[in-house]
Amino acid sequence: MDIGMLWFDDQSASTPEKIQRAVSFYTEKYGRRPTLCLVNPATLNGGEGIMAGVKVRKARNVMPDHYWIGVDESKNPSAPRQRQVA
């Protein structure tokens, strides 16, 4: 995933609840459901899997209490990627 929405949530809710809020917001804002959420391993506090209907993976480049959510391009080959030429 190259492009996504960064969601911050440090409330006392569970991780699946936080991801559900992020999925709902993303869906309403962008008009499509996300398919992937990258989470710091410390925030994830457990295994990867499916939460709130999206695949959740560990990513050390995402800060704790942040959720990088979007569409996994490798699962959507019909959307051609444009290259920028300098």
4-52 tens-digit pLDDT? 999 999 999 999 999 999 999 999 999 999 999 999 999 887 778 999 9
* Distance of alpha carbon 86 from alpha carbon 79, whole angstroms: 22
Give the per-residue pLDDT at 33. 95
Pick the residue with more confidence: 23 or 76? Answer: 23
Looking at the 3D structure of the chain, how many domains does it have? 1
What are the backbone angles phi and psi of residue 84, rounded to the nearest 5°?
A: -95, 135
Domain membership flag for residue 83: no
pTM of the model: 0.81
The answer to whether residues 38 and 60 touch, using CB atoms and an 8 Å cutoff, is: no
In the predicted structure, residue 78 carries a pLDDT above the cut 80: no
Give the per-residue pLDDT at 77. 54
Domain membership flag for residue 79: no
CA angle 76, 77, 82 (to 5 degrees): 105
Domain membership flag for residue 68: yes
Q: Which domain holds residue 22?
A: 5-74
